[in-house]
Structure 1
């Protein structure tokens, strides 16, 4: 049977309108096209609300589309936020056919099934859902403080801890000291970066074009990574003190730069004021006594030695986030952790492992933050599509208007890395990007934290260079590995292309410290080496300054409408558009259109004819080759792209 005799494409307005996520109470029109000479018994839209409320809605024929007949139904989005799921049931001569999402649940064109199919998703968000506009227009920079810069010129290490190993040189290869029998970390490596170093490098970050700094944890902790919090109200003495943090925030703010903190609230350190297993604090910790005020914070199986901990790591005891005293301490109290640091100057928080925090806890954090500063930003660590993330058997509510402003956009990262390295083609890339575009509310799509590197993944230059896969090398071989000149050339060419995309795509681009300088390395600890001050790759650094400058200069690259226009082979292209004096959020902006074209192929140049329709007039100007113009004739742009070449075109006016 012709597989196209039933057809639905959620990306086309003919079949689903409006596109993508919708607010509560919105009208949604859904349609399916059927091409069959045989009479139909029924065409049914099967709808699920909140994963449990089922409706079966008869669909009526409304018009002919070519040889197909279009069946349509109109529904109303429910009054409270959540997810809708739908597919179609077609009964013909007593036989039942199903039309649902494609097997990968990417939306767009689906397929026919002879059994219950995967459903299409509609995200329904609160009508007042909004994220701060200043953040949508920002460029972020992530700093792992110990490895960024030591602000003391003589290299002085502040308050070293007794169980830490201090490196003799700034450019040494990082490593952990591990027990050879258990494999457990028994000492941490320290290089000596501190908040004074961040403060002294503010002019560098300003020149680079940065407007938000995201700091990995900086509160007192036993480790170098600081995800084992010892005292939530105290800057780690190795990094400085609370007064210095306040000064950093003030000086950064004067330069137009906001500071985002890393909030680690699903667990503490065992070596902490609150648990105090090692007895290094004068407090009576939960480990020491059931009478401790902190005892209700933790989940003991058998006090004191058996307790729940994060991923089985005994130095990271899990907390009970729903305990009232813990919530008061972290969120709601007059001098809560959230309020304390925001009053000191922090503009927002990134929530570590947000999928391990209850929705109620996250909602309280957001409400508290917005009451204190409506323009503050709450970001969550999510590795998957955050609109339909399931955690501990529960569908999460991150993007529905009461929780996160932004999520770490790892799906963006993986889609583009696969494309850039030849593991996928442009059509595959397009479907993965469109899935996010369709599932995320517009506010969150444009405020997503678009990262290509972080402290939890390999350095992007290593991944792009064709280096051996991490799993093929021992830890010792990974530490010794250096890129050959040819690998470096390939990696830098790809990284320039990927950073061009990062700076021109909807969302907030985030640079992991040192990526702009050409740092490479496998995962932790090798992805956390020190910034190579004075040894930067100047070609790459100059490129980053150029493309960040374009993003900061042109509103269209921040909040212009996104429209894919080309996806063939290893070439992908998209438009960013501001027309009729309004951006995608209906804010007054100057009319502008930008076109981004990238060729991820490494072998040959390609000749292209890109259909721009009536969106551009006259000529497009190539910003990366100043003075070069390309005429648009009859709606088509003709151009040639060399291997690993990208172009950024700009037109000052629209038809």
Structure 2
């Protein structure tokens, strides 16, 4: 089928997706042969705030009743570019713009996006093809080891109890209940993580703080005493490395705690902080006005904002021997940046420079909830993925696409959501995207699948409502389907601790319950291990490209393939409650030669997919011989 334009098909745009600065990109349109043209069509390209460029297109010949017009564009500047096509017929100006996710439509529609990134942009290899495991340190595992200098105002709880969630008489939830998870506990479970296939641990904050989430940093250069010592962190990294596991830290650099050595609002520390004295070396980090009033993160007065571009603060974090270098020297593999959209560009530039000067293989991942390629924050179009800031982001768009599809959304919508990110992000970013279905900031996926929506529900409701046995079974069944997509789509699967054993939890703090050691769902655990084993067995899952092959109501199929060798893995998923079947003789597989069924039921040339099941088949892909439809 011929389209006016199809941005995902290399017969119309080559190469697919984002491109390097100064890399040639060919654009092709097809117009009906009977279309009278006053002069040649043009490609119109522009960046926000800059004038359009008009590139004439040349006729290449005719095909299937259409005249083919083409031109090339070699961008000289990095940034998000937008484009469309225009031509004049019998004195009337016409436009080919984006009508849906990828197709050109006549005269109506929006702009197509072309992301142009730096020629030097590369991302660390250590994460590609791996599996990440996110740990909320207080709730994963307690070693029982005694720790020194633990503040006496912390409330110690029994492992497995419901986290505190009710506010005090002033309406503040202090998050001062602790369950004793520590670094030594994590170290004791490294073999468990290795058996799960984990190659990278992402730790929620470990720096000294006075609430259990530790996003209100009290001392950037010290492990929280309840978690252990700085030396314990070094030992954890060393022992993890022996097992092929890296450790990434959570960097919270947009604000500190009010209860910190820097601000010291409550006088916990002997040296005066910014709240107490203008003579404090940290005073210039903060914005004060009036009678001890100050700017805080989202109005939460326990989280005073910092001026990230204050020279003193930037040097403290990003300077030689600063916070970033210090933890890298102890073994950290990089950082996940909390609220990256609230960190100014200059600070992100400095942060990346510091990390990459230490070691190009150290990674920088940003918390961004939207499409990070075209994100605007506080009136500024961000440049996270152009080569000078982030390597990767938390892939919330994939998460929402996966959950919506598993819960019944149209398969074509799922395809469009996935392809939209693959089109907009640099390929090197795609290979290290953090793909998850649960995190510490959202309800666990098993609850989202199995129970009723929790939006609008009270904390009391969330505390008292566990999934019924029937809800749990449904949640688990759909979670397994979601994990298939999480593990095999482009990017790196990130398991939120406990998801692999059926740990439940609505929103904060119930999504941060203790790991249920001794009460694991072993069937779900073995399923997760199987996915990890398959992922590690096929190199195409590391950096392979992707194409959708099967798009039916309850059946979706796609390949991951190495464009040079053709080595491929075909992934098929049945999200429905009835048995499905896919014939390997179908036209969609014409470019593939099959070798081995890695997982699934094969009956001759057919793959049988029982309800809520998947299959993975190794294959070799040949070069596509016709445009995609």
**TM-score calculated relative to the size of structure 2:** 0.94
Q: Does 1:68 align with 2:66?
A: yes
Please give the per-residue CA displacement for 1:492-542, whole angstroms capped at 9, x wherever unaligned: 122222222222222111100000010111110010000000000000001
Q: Does 1:534 align with 2:518?
A: yes
For 1:113-262, list aligned pairs within 5 A: 113=107, 117-152=109-144, 160-167=150-157, 169-180=158-169, 182-262=170-250
Please give the per-residue CA displacement for 1:395-450, whole angstroms capped at 9, x wherever unaligned: 1111111111111111111101100011x111111111111111111100111111
- Partner residue, 1:15: 12
**Which segments of 5 or more consecutive residues in structure 1 lack a partner in the other structure?**
582-590, 633-637
**Which segments of 5 or more consecutive residues in structure 2 lack a partner in the other structure?**
624-629
Please give the per-residue CA displacement for 1:305-359, whole angstroms capped at 9, x wherever unaligned: 2221111111111111111111110001x32000111111111111111111112
For 1:214-613, list aligned pairs within 5 A: 214-302=202-290, 305-332=292-319, 334-422=320-408, 424-465=409-450, 467-578=451-562, 581=565, 592-603=567-578, 605-606=580-581, 610-613=586-589
CA contact (8 A) 1:6 1:99 kept: no
Q: CA deviation at 1:270?
A: 0.7
Evaluate the alpha carbon distance shift between residue 11 and residue 134 of structure 1 in structure 2; reply closer, same or farther with a 3 A threshold: same
CA contact (8 A) 1:621 1:630 kept: no
Distance between the aligned counterparts of 1:300 and 1:44, measured in 2?
Answer: 54
Please give the per-residue CA displacement for 1:148-169, whole angstroms capped at 9, x wherever unaligned: 111117xx687554443332x2
CA contact (8 A) 1:406 1:444 kept: yes
Q: CA deviation at 1:39?
A: 2.1
Please give the per-residue CA displacement for 1:588-640, whole angstroms capped at 9, x wherever unaligned: xxx632110011123553555643545433x5433234xx54555xxxxx333
Distance between the aligned counterparts of 1:400 and 1:240, measured in 2?
Answer: 38
Per mean C-alpha deviation after superposition, the further-off stretch among 456-465 and 44-53 is: 44-53
Distance between the aligned counterparts of 2:255 and 2:237, measured in 1?
Answer: 26
Distance between the aligned counterparts of 2:368 and 2:558, measured in 1?
Answer: 26
Root mean square deviation of aligned Cα: 2.2
CA contact (8 A) 1:164 1:187 kept: no
CA contact (8 A) 2:164 2:175 kept: no
Q: CA deviation at 1:184?
A: 1.8
Distance between the aligned counterparts of 1:506 and 1:6, measured in 2?
Answer: 27
Any idea what SS the aligned residue of 2:349 has?
Answer: helix
Q: CA deviation at 1:471?
A: 2.1
CA contact (8 A) 2:174 2:211 kept: no
Distance between the aligned counterparts of 1:553 and 1:309, measured in 2?
Answer: 48
Evaluate the alpha carbon distance shift between residue 6 and residue 503 of structure 1 in structure 2; reply closer, same or farther with a 3 A threshold: closer
Q: CA deviation at 1:56?
A: 2.4
CA contact (8 A) 1:143 1:512 kept: yes
Distance between the aligned counterparts of 2:316 and 2:382, measured in 1?
Answer: 24
Evaluate the alpha carbon distance shift between residue 407 and residue 34 of structure 1 in structure 2; reply closer, same or farther with a 3 A threshold: same
Distance between the aligned counterparts of 1:151 and 1:439, measured in 2?
Answer: 44
Q: CA deviation at 1:95?
A: 3.1
CA contact (8 A) 2:2 2:64 kept: no
Distance between the aligned counterparts of 2:298 and 2:21, measured in 1?
Answer: 38
Any idea what SS the aligned residue of 2:592 has?
Answer: coil
Evaluate the alpha carbon distance shift between residue 159 and residue 541 of structure 1 in structure 2; reply closer, same or farther with a 3 A threshold: farther
CA contact (8 A) 1:5 1:36 kept: no
Please give the per-residue CA displacement for 1:198-232, whole angstroms capped at 9, x wherever unaligned: 11111111111111110000101110000000000
CA contact (8 A) 1:419 1:570 kept: no
Evaluate the alpha carbon distance shift between residue 187 and residue 33 of structure 1 in structure 2; reply closer, same or farther with a 3 A threshold: closer
Q: CA deviation at 1:654?
A: 7.5
Distance between the aligned counterparts of 1:652 and 1:603, measured in 2?
Answer: 30
Please give the per-residue CA displacement for 1:275-322, whole angstroms capped at 9, x wherever unaligned: 1111111222111122221111112233x5222111111111111111
Distance between the aligned counterparts of 2:344 and 2:563, measured in 1?
Answer: 41
Any idea what SS the aligned residue of 1:85 has?
Answer: strand
**TM-score calculated relative to the size of structure 1:** 0.90
CA contact (8 A) 2:164 2:177 kept: yes
CA contact (8 A) 2:165 2:459 kept: no
- Partner residue, 1:645: 613
- Partner residue, 1:109: 103
CA contact (8 A) 2:556 2:573 kept: yes
Distance between the aligned counterparts of 1:554 and 1:5, measured in 2?
Answer: 35
- Partner residue, 1:588: none
CA contact (8 A) 2:550 2:588 kept: no
- Partner residue, 2:88: 91
